[in-house]
Structure 1
Amino acid sequence: MATSKPESLFQEELTCPICLQLFSEPVVLPCGHNFCASCIGEVIEREAEEGQHTCPECRSEHKGKAALQRNFKLCNIVEGFKSSECTAAYQVLCDMCLENALPAVKTCLKCEISLCALHLKRHGEKKTFQSHSLVDATADLSARKCSLHDKPLEYYCVDDKSCICVSCCIEGNHKSHDVKSFKTAHAELKLILESQLKEITEKLNLSESLLQKANENETAVKAANAEMKQKAVELLDSLAELVANYKAHVIETIEAEQRPVVESLQQSIRRVTEQQSLLKHTQLQADSVWTEMDEFLFIQKLLTI
């Protein structure tokens, strides 16, 4: 079904800017922009690594999932819009209009016909029709008929929690049951439902509050963990620096204590080496003199050693 310009603009206002579909479980950010809960949730998860969350519309910063609030009013508006579109797409026409049938406003369960506003007025003017049950216009009456007696369902059995016809009240299994007219049952059940809805709303608000608090606690715990991690790294780095400095100090102390000993040993080694070299030289000279056979030269060489 084609939508008129105002309807198109209205539908645009009810469209999520991320998925470009009608809002599904809409939530609102502190900046006032609305998104599907799942759509903005995916965005927040992608931004988690960056540690900064911004609105996809205006780029204003927020606190992630902890900043999300369920927009119940917008949710109701979207559901109403969907319902109106569905109703317009399957509009029931008046059975009494001969030409250019107008949209029906009511359906008579007794006559089993749908009536526009004009024919409904004429229908109500006849006394014999004034007792007939009228419901919102519908093209399918089978769901409003008793499967046993093929008569309109006009009563509610409290005991069996089921809709019944007049024959069920008189001759059926519901004769001794607590039976009420739809009007009376509707009023009573609506009060019960209203009470249940109030209780559900309170529980939902409580769960939203608990969820928000849990998200805030999660954020706080993550922040505390990050701070503890940073402090632990700084402490370990400080300890590593102290160990390195102490290591250098110990090595320097040992070297300072051992330096005189090492220098003394090195001096001793040099003296022994020099003596060894001198002895080797003297040995070579003695060997040369020992092999000399001339008595004069033997004595001359010996005197030079």
Structure 2
Amino acid sequence: MESALTCILCSDAYNTSNKAPRFLPCGHTYCSECCGIILEQNPARCPEDESNISYTSIDAIPKNQALLKLLQNTNICTEHKKKLEYVCINDKIRICSRCALMGAHKDHEIKTIEDVHNEVVMRAGVLVDMLEIIDKTEAELSDTIMVKLEAVADQYDNKKVELQKSVKSEFTAMRAQLDALEKLVLNDLNKSFTNIENNITSSRELPKVIYQQASEWKDMGQCVPNSTL
């Protein structure tokens, strides 16, 4: 296990900074410093199989995440061989006391693992409390909203029925008024038609009456004897 955590070129232990393990295209892994030396060669080739390397910078070479995870899971600093008792907040990794005092993390924010654990537990507790408050508030709001929605729905139903009744009543009254007006207009029209028809009939009978009266006057004139002068 220990040999797997050291660079085969320089025999230094891998770490998460200047000695971070990096994958070459051929699959071989070396630390960042050795990869920098390899890239300075022309052409750049893998020391083991001499395959060409197309990368032009160290940062372009991907890190070996499997080895980095393995480093994180160990309790001993591979660089200083001391217990990992601290956490670098900036890089989010565990480090030893020498890493914190004189290593690559000396200017970073450092906390003990216990402090970080307590802080995480405290924040988790706060989050749980907040979630409970949110759930309770959401339930209360949901109940309040449902009550208001039901009240609005009832008001809507009542208004709908009221409006329907009002419209039907108004149209019923309008129909009654129209029926009465229709009867009145028709009655007036019928009276007018009767008068007109009577006048027409009278006009047709007038010549007959005049002729009859003339005939009667004529007959009466014939019955009167002529006067003797």
TM-score (norm 2): 0.47
Q: Bigger relative contact order, structure 1 or 2, given CA contacts below 8 A and separation 6+?
A: 2
Rg larger in 1 or in 2?
2
